[in-house]
Amino acid sequence: MSHAVQEVLALTQRWIRRLSREKFSMLFTLVQPMLFWLIFFGNLFQRAANTQLFQTENYMSFLAAGVVVMTVLNNGLAGGVDLLFDKENGFLERLMSTPIHRASIIVSRYLFVMLITCLQILVILTVAFFFGVTPETGLAGVAVILVIGMLFGVGLTAISMAMAFSVKSHGDFFSVLGFLSLPMIFLSSALVPLTAMPAWMRAVAYFNPMTWVIEAIRPLILSGWAAAIPQVLTALAILLVFDAICLYGGARAFRRAIG
Amino acid sequence: MSSSIAIEVVDLEKTYGTVTAIQDLSFTVLPGEIFGLLGPNGAGKSTTLRILITILPPTRGQARVWGYDVVKEADAVRQVIGYVPQERAIDRFLTGREHLLLLADLYHLPKREALNRINELLKLVDLEAHADRLAKTYSGGMKRKLDIACGLLPNPRIVFLDEPTLGLDVQSRLRIWDYIRELRRRGLTIVMTTNYLEEADQLCDRLAIIDGGRIRVMGSPKELKTALGGDTLCLRADPSQTEPLDRLHAALKTLPFIRDSRRQGYELLIRVDAPDKALPAILEAAHRVNCHIESIDYHRPRLDDVFLAYTGHRFQEPTQ
Ligand SMILES: Nc1ncnc2c1ncn2[C@@H]1O[C@H](COP(=O)(O)OP(=O)(O)OP(=O)(O)O)[C@@H](O)[C@H]1O
Ligand SMILES: [Mg+2]
């Protein structure tokens, strides 16, 4: 057991080191969602936003939930990238020739992705706070947001890692990534409320787990506990199923690739 | 366990889809020796090594490393081996020392022991001065040295080196040969692959020549060369001399002292028993069939002659 801890900590530390040395990439990862989506998009559409439709005066407070979940989405789907590079340059082979638990690599990757995602969510909510967005449910609500975000991230990271282990080239990986992430965003309630969507789009959005995650986080920011609790419970139930499927698929891909 | 055999491989086979990478591979490695797998690109050397270090399951056959089965007792195997992969498996964003610290944790070394061993290894491979620089600033030779240090960190009984000197300049290559000999002195068993005839000849105690996924012949370099017997004459003719060369090739069949001859491009490779007697006879035959010879080269058997004799084609070394 203590061996597993030693392995996981060492591997996680490596991921953190890599990120911290890629200064540009780190800056981009941390700043991009806030700068682009929250501030730019938020201010741009503030004027176009119909107060009635968005249930709030401030489009940014509507958008905050979407940006939080988009960040979880991007981090999760990119969670396998470093493993892909390790696979391609032979580092993974070196790791696999050591007497570690096979799962330690995976676990370290989860830890790292979760850590980064939590940090980003906190930064986003802080920036939003300075633009006048105060979560109605307070700090406890923020904690619930983090938990829901993490649960969504687990499944996404599993998808990403499964892909990293299965694809033939990293070109394939990034194509699939691009193919997945944009529709996930636009066919969810990240940018517009479900009620404002055409019927067909709304129907599709209902099958997108991302919608349910957003629909749980949004009332935590906009409305308060009474409105949020049923939504949060629904999201938790859906995420349980989502994660189970993703983890199962991920474990299979991993076993096929590494044995 | 007490080991009179370090590695035992029986009827090993690996197929990737329809491609057969290796087949009918059987060999043993003795403790304390440098065992080489010599073969051209795609011969199946890395595939063999990957199976032995437990990261690739064989399609058929068995392999035991230090007495442990590479499939059923993979974890035990991993405890006794070190591995130096063929690709420079280096993380550009870590320093040399950080590579070793990471591996120390993966091998579960206690902190103090890890630090001592890391310093010792950095000294062995002359990387002390560069240990705290990011690996992306390393030269090819330095990366290779770091690779080797990584392979030695667990203090293994057997270390696997996949083409340890591929692409290095002569100077670095000689350094690496020194390290490898030093390891043998310390009692390690070494299994290495190589693409270089000279490396196999100079460094390996025993070697298996592998081509097309099969072992063609096995033995110490000296044994292999002696067993071949005879010396090698290489006649080179002008490209315009295709037909005369054919005639000469045919004429050789009737001469004494000649073991065999092969036509290879504009060359005839002739193995002879007694060069002092064979040479005049060959020259005379050339004169008779009107074949113009550009150069004649004569040497004692070399590993490339061994390779040619057992595989039927010449060894292609990678060009640098
Ligand atoms: N993952 C793979 N999928 C399909 N074929 C493979 C795979 N790995 C190796 N092969 C094939 O197996 C054969 C042996 O490859 P291997 O890498 O073992 O050769 P090698 O002797 O190490 O060559 P080199 O000197 O170029 O490193 C080659 O024909 C190669 O194309
Ligand atoms: Mg190879």
**CA B48 distance to own-chain centroid:** 12
Give A40's pLDDT tier (boundaries 50, 70, 90): low
Question: Per-domain residue ranges for chain B?
Answer: 7-224, 230-300
Give the span between the Cα atoms of B205 and B114, in whole angstroms.
31
pLDDT of A213 above 90: yes
On the question of pLDDT at B105 being above 90, the answer is yes
Q: Which atom of ligand 1 is nearest to the CA of B49?
A: 18
CA–CA gap between residue B144 and residue B290 (Å, rounded): 53
Mean pLDDT of A39-62: 69
Rounded percentage of chain A residues whose pLDDT exceeds 90: 54
Residue B1 has pLDDT above 60, yes or no: no
Amino acid at B278: A
Entry pTM? 0.85
Which residues neighbour B274 within 8 Å (Cβ) at sequence distance 6 or greater? B257
Q: Which residues are CB-contacts of A90 (< 8 A; sequence separation ≥ 6)? A: B85, B86, B87, B88, B89
Q: Is B118 on the interface with A (CB under 8 A)?
A: no
CA–CA gap between residue B217 and residue A83 (Å, rounded):
39
B86 in contact with A at a CB cutoff of 8 Å?
yes
Note the pLDDT of residue A142: 96
Question: For residue B294, what pLDDT band results from cuts at 50, 70 and 90?
Answer: confident
Stretch A236-246: mean pLDDT: 96
Strand positions, DSSP E, chain B:
7-16, 19-29, 34-38, 60-65, 68-69, 81-84, 158-162, 189-194, 206-211, 214-219, 231-237, 258-264, 267-272, 293-299
> At residue B2, does pLDDT exceed 50?
no
Q: Do B89 and A94 touch (CB under 8 A)?
A: yes
**Closest atom, ligand 1, to C-alpha of B20:** 12
Return the ligand 1 atom nearest residue B210 CA.
Answer: 21
Instruction: Choose the mutation target among B77, B81, B105 for the interface with A, i.e. most A CBs under 10 Å.
Output: B105
Query: How confident is the model at residue B251, as a pLDDT?
Result: 86
Q: How far is the CA of B106 from the centre of ligand 2 (A)?
A: 25
Nearest to A156 by CA among A131, A183, A181: A181
Query: What tens digit of pLDDT does each residue of B20-55 get?
Result: 999 999 999 999 999 999 999 999 999 999 999 999
Report the pLDDT value the prediction gives residue A50, as an integer from 0 to 100. Answer: 65
**Does the beta carbon of B170 lie inside 6 Å of ligand 1?**
no
| Sheet hosting strand B189-194, strand order edge to edge | B81-84, B158-162, B189-194, B34-38, B206-211, B214-219
Helices marked H in A102-169 — which ranges?
Answer: 102-130, 138-166
User: Above 80 in pLDDT, residue A48?
Assistant: no
pLDDT at A156 over 90: yes
Answer whether B106 sits within 8 Å of A99, measured CB to CB. yes
- Look-up: residue for tokens 């979940």? A69
* Cα(A210)–Cα(B278) distance, integer angstroms: 84
Candidates 3.30.70.240, 3.30.479.30, 3.40.50.300, 3.30.565.10; CATH matching B7-224 = 3.40.50.300
Q: Look at residue A57 in the predicted model and tell me its pLDDT.
A: 67
Residue B38's pLDDT is: 95
Residues of A in contact with B90 (CB under 8 A): 89, 91
Percent of chain B with pLDDT over 90: 61
Minimal CA separation from A254 to chain B, in Å: 13
Q: What is the ipTM for the molecules in this complex?
A: 0.87
Q: How far is CA B278 from CA A133, B174, B245, B274, B309, in A?
A: 98, 38, 17, 6, 20
Please report the atom of ligand 1 found closest to the CA of residue B213.
Answer: 14
Distance, in angstroms, between A139 CA and closest chain B CA?
Answer: 37
Query: Confidence band (pLDDT; 50, 70, 90) for B312?
Result: confident
Q: What is the mean pLDDT of residues A136-157?
A: 95
Integer Cα distance of A110 and A104 in angstroms:
10
Cα separation, A190 vs A59, in Å, equals 12
Average pLDDT, chain B: 90
Question: Do A6 and B79 count as a contact with CB atoms less than 8 A apart?
Answer: no
- pLDDT at residue B136 in the model: 93
Best probe residue, ligand 1, of B16, B23, B165, B193 (max atoms within 8 Å of C-beta): B16
The answer to whether A72 and A156 have CB atoms below 8 angstroms apart is yes
Residue-level pLDDT at A55: 67
Work out the minimum CA distance from B201 to partner chain A, whole angstroms: 28
Q: What are phi and psi of B314, to 5 degrees?
A: -80, 150
Mean pLDDT, residues B88-98: 93
Between B168 and A34, the more confident residue is B168
Of A83-87, A113-117, B168-172, give the lowest mean pLDDT range: B168-172
- Give the Cα separation of A56 and A42 in Å (integer): 13
> Of the residues B12, B47, B319, which should be mutated to test ligand 1's pocket, given the most ligand atoms within 8 Å of the CB?
B47
Please list, residue by residue across B186-214, b when 16 or more beta carbons sit within 10 angstroms of its beta carbon and e when fewer do. Answer: eebbbbbbbbbbebbbebbbbbbbbbbbb
At residue B204, does pLDDT exceed 60?
A: yes
Q: Which residues of chain B neighbour A6 with C-beta distances below 8 Å?
A: 105, 108
Whether CATH 3.30.1450.10 fits B230-300: no
CB contact under 8 A, A98 and B54: no
The pLDDT of residue A259 is 59
pLDDT for B240: 82
User: Cα–Cα distance between A85 and A170 in angstroms, integer?
Assistant: 8
Q: What is the 3-state secondary structure (H, E, C) of B37-51?
A: EECCCCCCHHHHHHH
Whether A147 has a pLDDT exceeding 90, the answer reads: yes
